[in-house]
């Protein structure tokens, strides 16, 4: 697909009644050359891609185009099969730029600014300040209310009901609810993941870093799903141990895991059916399906090999510092075997008419030589197994037209199992060690190890290395990177929320109580009022405001469920 966006109906750079859209700018090229030439361009993020023809530049005329501003552009013109005046320029939103092609062969001016662009990041700063002010206002109101209550009810004023209660009940009664018995840092982590997911799924303000990477690379949006999988694994370590204490049958625990997985799969298919015109178009893979399969695999392995409390006592002694790993060697071997199998299939499975071990998107990638190899072995397997029942979007914002590739397909589901197991490892640390320092140090060590291995695989670079970081492929370097940040984030949350109690976890902790409910709810209501509405003229200001409103509204719903003590679990 062309990287420039020259509208057929009206060119907003030439029509005063039209306006530029999000991430668009005007680019005027004056051709003073001796003949017409073809303008070529390509986005800088397109790795090893040939430039794409965009427009014919007539002799002696000024041609004005609409160009995208999401990524810097490589600009050139072609004459006698030779690219001339090749340059890269970072166009800014709603700016107007000029470029002169000289009469002399291959001599061009620098790209210059005609009208200054707008600051497209100002809405983010404004939204941040608004939320900070609201938090300060809320905290101030709480303090004032406490002070007023203290003044209205001094220690020497007591009513008859208070005295009667103290006479009849010498020990105070502590009210508990379902949420009061939960680990606050876990719900806070889960709430961060689900609210970020809602924000990202609704558009993320149409900012590049709040949307998924075109293929390789890492954005905030890319971390949301693996973080959710990681904290799911954390919960598995805690819940299965509790279930084993009250249940004598591991088989019953596995059956309950299977039941939950089936329900998640059915919910996932229901969510997918919203966008399907018929059963022929129903997408089988999906986020909930990926979570269901990885949950069942990891929960089953943990249930089968989990030690009882009496067996744990045997490891106390000179090796107690490593007891969380020593007692789980069987689980480690199985998970590493699954990961190794995924890696071998990725790099050794022959794919027709494609290089073995290809991990790219196809399309323009590698100068278009592998345009029909999207996703390599993973994409090939998904297209073979699912056919038309998979993610069907084939237009990539960077690499043009690619083959169907499902980011939650079979191979990616196998890959995410490792992330879930990393969450289980983190959960065991919480269970086996009782001092905050012992826990945090271990989480930080795991963060460092996974981060270093990931960096070694990708050479700490976006495109190079043995295995690039790619959320689309759920590559090994990506799942290690996601695990690295998950360990780090949870260590911080545990210290702040559970240990020091500097922060209650609000407002994220409320969303963490009902994550599946919020995910299904926001998917079913996406685009519907009052969560969203149609924008006549979309800008970063309006889109970001609407996306934040959608996320905030679901946060309010989560808080209401918390107040009603409603926790919908599967």
Element (H, E) at 63: strand 62-68
Q: Could you tell me where in the chain the CATH 2.60.40 domains are found? A: 24-115
Rounded CA separation 429/237 (Å): 9
pLDDT for residue 83: 85
pLDDT for residue 1: 43
Rounded CA separation 19/66 (Å): 11
pLDDT for residue 324: 64
pLDDT for residue 488: 98
- Backbone dihedral angles phi then psi of residue 108, each to the nearest 5 degrees: -135, 155
Q: Is 459 a catalytic residue?
A: no
Which CATH code fits 24-115? 2.60.40
pLDDT for residue 8: 46
pLDDT for residue 169: 37
Half-sphere exposure of 341 (CA within 13 A, CB side): 14
pLDDT for residue 3: 47
Using CB atoms within 10 A of its CB, is residue 9 exposed (0-12), middle (13-18) or buried (19+)?
A: exposed
Q: Please list the residues that pair with 39 across neighbouring strands.
A: 55, 77
Residues of the chain with pLDDT under 70: 1-9, 105-106, 151-180, 248, 308-326
First to last CA, the chain: 43
Using CB atoms within 10 A of its CB, is residue 349 exposed (0-12), middle (13-18) or buried (19+)?
A: middle
pLDDT for residue 275: 82
Q: Do residues 511 and 518 make contact, with C-beta atoms less than 8 angstroms apart?
A: yes
Rounded CA separation 89/91 (Å): 6
Rounded CA separation 95/435 (Å): 56
pTM (whole model) above 0.75: yes
Q: Which of 94, 115, 212, 494 is catalytic?
A: 212
pLDDT for residue 120: 92
- With a CB cutoff of 8 Å and minimum separation 6, the contacts of 88 are 44, 72, 73, 74, 75
Rounded CA separation 423/402 (Å): 34
Peptide linkage before 104 cis (omega within 30 of 0): no
pLDDT for residue 243: 87
Q: Which residue has the tokens 């010498």?
A: 170
Q: Please list the residues that pair with 420 across neighbouring strands.
A: none
């Amino acid at each position: 697909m062309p990287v420039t966006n020259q509208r057929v109906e009206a060119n907003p750079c030439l029509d005063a009644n039209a306006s530029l859209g999000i991430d668009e700018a005007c680019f005027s090229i004056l051709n003073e050359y001796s003949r017409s030439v073809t303008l070529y361009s390509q986005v800088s993020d397109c790795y090893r891609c040939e430039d794409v023809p965009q427009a014919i530049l007539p002799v002696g005329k000024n041609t004005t185009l609409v160009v995208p501003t999401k990524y810097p552009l490589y600009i050139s013109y072609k004459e006698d099969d030779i690219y001339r005046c090749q340059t890269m320029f970072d166009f800014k939103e709603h700016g107007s730029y000029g470029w002169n092609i000289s009469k002399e062969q291959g001599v061009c001016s620098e790209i210059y600014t005609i009208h200054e662009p707008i600051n497209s990041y100002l809405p983010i700063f404004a939204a941040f300040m608004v939320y900070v002010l609201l938090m300060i206002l809320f905290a101030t109101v709480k303090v004032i209310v406490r002070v007023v209550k203290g003044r209205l009810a001094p220690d020497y004023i007591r009513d008859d009901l208070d005295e009667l209660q103290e006479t009849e009940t010498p020990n105070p009664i502590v009210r508990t609810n379902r949420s009061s018995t939960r680990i606050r840092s876990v719900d806070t982590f889960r709430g961060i993941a689900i609210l970020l997911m809602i924000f990202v799924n609704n558009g993320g303000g149409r900012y590049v870093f709040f949307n998924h990477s075109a293929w390789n690379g890492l954005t905030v949006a890319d971390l949301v799903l693996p973080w959710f999988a990681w904290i799911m694994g954390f919960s598995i370590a805690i819940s299965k141990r509790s279930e084993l204490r009250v249940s004598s049958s591991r088989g019953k625990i596995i059956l309950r895991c299977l039941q939950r997985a089936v329900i998640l799969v059915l919910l996932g298919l229901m969510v997918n059916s919203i966008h399907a015109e018929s059963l022929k178009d129903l997408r089988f893979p999906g986020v909930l399906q990926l979570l269901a399969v990885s949950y069942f695999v990891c929960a089953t392995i943990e249930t089968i090999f989990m030690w009882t409390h009496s067996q744990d006592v045997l490891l106390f002694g000179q090796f107690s510092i490593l007891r969380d790993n020593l007692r789980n060697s069987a689980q480690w071997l199985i998970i590493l075997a699954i990961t190794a199998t995924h890696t071998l299939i990725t790099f050794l499975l022959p794919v027709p008419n494609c290089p073995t071990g290809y991990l790219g998107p196809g399309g323009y990638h590698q100068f278009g030589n592998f345009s029909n190899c999207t996703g390599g072995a993973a994409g090939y397997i998904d297209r073979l197994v699912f056919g038309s029942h998979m993610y069907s979007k084939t237009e990539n914002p960077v690499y043009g037209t690619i083959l169907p590739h499902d980011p939650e397909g079979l191979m990616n589901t196998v890959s995410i199992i490792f992330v879930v197991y990393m969450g289980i490892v983190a959960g065991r640390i919480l269970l086996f060690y009782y001092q905050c320092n012992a826990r945090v140090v271990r989480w930080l060590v795991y963060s460092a190890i996974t981060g270093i291995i990931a960096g070694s695989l990708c050479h700490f670079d976006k495109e190079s290395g043995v295995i690039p970081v790619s959320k689309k492929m759920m590559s090994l370097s990506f799942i290690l990177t996601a695990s690295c940040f998950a360990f780090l984030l949870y260590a911080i949350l545990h210290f702040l929320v559970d240990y020091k109690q500097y922060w209650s976890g609000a407002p994220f902790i409320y969303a963490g109580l009902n994550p599946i409910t919020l995910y299904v709810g926001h998917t079913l209501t996406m685009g519907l009022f009052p969560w969203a509405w149609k924008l006549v003229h979309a800008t970063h200001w309006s889109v970001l405001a609407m996306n934040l409103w959608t996320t905030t509204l679901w946060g309010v719903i989560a808080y209401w469920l918390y107040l009603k003590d409603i926790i919908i679990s599967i």
